[in-house]
Amino acid sequence: MTEPHYRAPDLSLRGAEHIARYRETDGEIGHLWNGVPVLLLTARGRRTGEPRTSALIYGRDGDDHLVVASTGGAPRHPAWYLNLRQTPEAEIQVKADHLPVTARTASDAEKPRLWRIMTEVWPNYDAYQARTQRVIPVVVLSPR
């Protein structure tokens, strides 16, 4: 089986540095990453209870923000997703706006439509899904 088309991203801004620059500049640096929008998701660690922040590509579905728990097609779900499954109340930062949200995994019925929204934003998600046997979740972040 051939992997869907994959476009290698510029990884010069990532991880803790991406989060710090985003926060320092209210998203002026970091909101657009490789031409796509990024938000900061802060969730409670499932073991520590401490806040954990991740920079994630997002899409929109009405008032909801959408993120994909892909980890580039790794065999395990990302820690932020596992944290949200335990404690779905979280906060997102989109540019300068801080919003309380409740997270849920998209249902099987709604996932195909939401997956299309997200692959329009970041086509690499199809390649990531092809790399793993796990079903990559789409997470719906709804305002509280």
Q: Measure the CA angle with vertex 62, ends 134 and 94; round to 5°.
A: 80
| Residue 11: predicted pLDDT | 74
Q: How far apart are CA 89 and CA 93, in angstroms?
A: 14
Whether the CB-CB separation of 7 and 124 falls below 8 Å is answered with yes
Number of Cβ within 10 Å of residue 110's Cβ equals: 12
Residue 12: its pLDDT value, please?
74
Residue ranges per structural domain of the chain:
15-143
pLDDT in tens, 87-143: 999 999 999 999 999 999 999 999 999 999 999 999 999 999 999 999 999 999 999
Please tell us whether the domain made up of 15-143 is placed in CATH 3.30.70.2860: no
Q: Is 23 exposed, middle or buried (0-12, 13-18, 19+ CB in 10 A)?
A: middle
User: What pLDDT was estimated at residue 3?
Assistant: 61
Residue 113 CA to residue 102 CA, distance in Å, equals 20
Residue 143 burial by CB count (10 A; 0-12/13-18/19+): exposed, middle or buried? exposed
Residue 9 predicted with pLDDT over 80: no
Q: What is the pLDDT of residues 12-71, one digit of tens each?
A: 777 999 999 999 999 999 999 999 999 999 999 999 999 999 999 999 999 999 999 999
**Token duo for residue 36:** 């796509």
Express each pLDDT in 100-112 by its tens digit: 999 999 999 999 9
